Amino acid sequence: MRHLLDNDVFFAAIYGKHALHPVAREWLDKAKPAGWGVAVETYLAAVRLLMNPAVMKSGHLSAIHAIEAVETELAGRYPGRIVMPRRKPDQAMLKQATGHKQVMDFWLAQIAQDCGCKLATNDSGLAAAWPKHVDRIV
Amino acid sequence: MPTFSFKTAPSEAKSIRAAARAKGLSVSEYLRRTTLPRAAGKRLARATLKPGRVVIQGSADAPVLTSADVASALYD
């Protein structure tokens, strides 16, 4: 597996009204043959977003259909892995977070590191903080 | 948010509470889902669902989201 997708990249790939959808969709389609996956946190984040009326407005999905969408993306010729963390959060890594929104991203970067792959993100700050563990898709 | 209140017989109230409890829902959520099934979430009407390639078009009233919007929805 070469890439673990962060929450934003995975959601952008499957949701047409994300501003990054064209970029994320194209990137993922090209990246899949090399091996890809999402952390269980990213799987659940996508389900949460698809079910959230504040995000999806009248198009929010039931749990059944949100899960169906995520599972269908993970299926296919180049199936995506659902990655479970191998160890608890690395305190040294997390302590470098400068804001609450970075905590999940740093955790995903650790999971990617533990899997021997890179975290695919659009976040320039994350890419700058962990250049060895992160690939920026844009 | 508007609040509804209505009168009902004790036996009916008991039945409604029992039905909601059986589904693991609050009475409010049970009544919403019973009277407005769409509130429970829609099907994937406007979507491409091919194994390995999903694109959900989104509803007409949904705004274009930025990465910041996504982060706010998940973490705020």
pLDDT, one tens digit per residue, over A89-130 is: 999 999 989 888 889 999 999 999 999 999 999 999 889 888
Over residues A68-82, the pLDDT tens digits come to 999 999 999 999 999
Three-state secondary structure of A60-128 = CECHHHHHHHHHHHHCCCCCCEEECCCCCCCHHHHCCCCCHHHHHHHHHHHHHHHHCCEEEECCHHHHH
**Every domain of chain B and the residues it spans:** 10-75
Encoded amino acid at B57, one letter: Q
Distance from CA of A122 to the nearest CA of B (A): 8
Look at B64 and A14 and tell me if their CB atoms are within 8 Å: no
Q: Which residues does A109 contact at the CB level (< 8 Å), separation at least 6? A: A93, A119, A126, A129, A130, A133, A134
- Chain B environment of A17 (Cβ under 8 Å): 57-58, 62-65
* Beta-sheet pairing, B53-56 with B47-50: antiparallel
Domain extent, residue A115, equals: 3-136
Instruction: Give the total number of structural domains in chain A.
Output: 1
Q: How many CB pairs under 8 A join A and B?
A: 123
Look at B74 and A78 and tell me if their CB atoms are within 8 Å: no
Distance from CA of B4 to the nearest CA of A (A): 21
Length of chain B: 76
Per the DSSP assignment, residues forming a β-bridge with A125 are none
Nearest C-alpha neighbor of B65 from the set A40, A13, A107: A13
The one-character DSSP state at A4 is E
pTM score > 0.90 for this model?
no
Look at A59 and B42 and tell me if their CB atoms are within 8 Å: yes
Give the CATH number, domain containing residue A9. 3.40.50.1010
- Chain A environment of B60 (Cβ under 8 Å): 58
Structure tokens at A64: 């059944």
Is residue A112 within 8 A of residue A134, CB to CB? The reply is yes
**Measuring CA to CA, how many Å separate B36 from each of A46, A66, B30, B41, B68?**
25, 19, 10, 10, 32
SS3 of residue B47 by DSSP: strand
- Chain B environment of A16 (Cβ under 8 Å): 55-58
Res A17 pLDDT > 70: yes
In the predicted model, residues of chain B with pLDDT beneath 70 are 36-43, 45
Is residue A16 within 8 A of residue B57, CB to CB? The reply is yes
